[in-house]
Amino acid sequence: MLDTPARLTIRDLDCGCLTGVSLTVDPGEVVCLSGPSGGGKSRLLRAIADLDPHSGDVWWGDDHQGGVSAHQWRQQVMLLPAEAPWWFERVGAHFPACPEAADLAAVGLPADALGWPVTRLSSGERQRAALLRMMAHKPRALLLDEPTANLDAATTERVEAWLLRRIRAERLTVLWVAHDMAQVKRIAGRHLRINGNSLETVAWT
């Protein structure tokens, strides 16, 4: 697969209650997705990541989801679920390489956090560590399922600022599930909302 910026393209995707979903996300663009609980937001992200059954087509650049191994696809088009799994005792054991001290500081984690047992992390610290872990794998497209849901307002904006800098600098394609409309207005280039079994574009006000 390519490791340069490329467009994420979804065509006529059916998954769960959603049908005929078609959209594109350009390099460096953040598209926010909102909708009712149980409406299919998380399932859509999982389908794009090739984790749930679906029909339709997904491309990242010229690479078709069905034309590469699932492992390769998920290295480039990476999902961060609302509750990321942890399987080793220590935080740092989950990272392919140590994040920069500046990145730890930018999301408000202490320099020694990688040496902590996972059980020491609060829910908000787990979310921030999971974001750092995701970025350490150097994905090219991010599928983010409420990545700041457990953070207070100040920390949310701090993490947003760090993540948006990375997105713009690396020209990542981003589909970000969010419920907070203030956050959507801060971070999104476009806002899509689930309405029934389809997506609709929400006009900025």
The whole-number pLDDT of residue 17 equals 87
What is the domain range of residue 174?
A: 8-85+140-201
- 90 inside domain: no
Residue 204 reports pLDDT greater than 90: no
CATH number of the domain at 163, please: 3.40.50.300
Please report whether residue 155 resides in a domain.
yes
The secondary structure of the chain as a DSSP string is: ---S---EEEEEEEETTEEEEEEEE-TT-EEEEE--TTSSHHHHHHHHTT-S--EEEEEETTEEGGGS-HHHHHHHEEEE-SS----SSBGGGG-SSPPPHHHHHHTT--TTGGGSBGGGS-HHHHHHHHHHHHHHT--SEEEEESTTTTS-HHHHHHHHHHHHHHHHHHT-EEEEE---HHHHHHH-SEEEEEETTEEEEPPP-
User: Does 153 map to a domain?
Assistant: yes
* pTM, full prediction: 0.95
The predicted model gives 140-162 an average pLDDT of: 94
Question: Average model confidence (pLDDT) for the chain?
Answer: 92
Q: What is the pLDDT of residue 142?
A: 97
The pLDDT assigned to 205 comes to 63
Residue 121 domain-assigned? no
Q: Kindly state whether residue 124 falls inside one of the protein's structural domains.
A: no
Residues 6+ apart with CB under 8 A from 128: 107, 108, 109, 151, 155, 159
What percent of the chain shows pLDDT beyond 90? 80
**pLDDT score, position 196:** 85
pLDDT, tens only, 108-129: 999 899 999 999 999 999 999 9
Average pLDDT on 163-167 reads 95
pLDDT at 38: 84
In a domain, 180, yes or no: yes
pLDDT band at 36 (very low <50, low <70, confident <90, very high): confident
Whether residue 114 is contained in a domain is answered as: no
Q: Give tens-digit pLDDT for 74-98.
A: 999 999 998 899 999 999 999 998 8
CB 1 within 8 A of CB 76: yes
What is the separation, in whole angstroms, between the first and last Cα of the chain?
A: 39
Amino acid of residue 73 = W
Asked if the structure places residue 132 within a domain, the reply is no
Total of domains in the chain = 1
Q: Are 15 and 40 in contact (CB under 8 A)?
A: yes
Say yes or no to pLDDT of 2 above 70: no
Structure tokens at 131: 């974001």
Q: Give me the pLDDT at residue 16, please.
A: 85
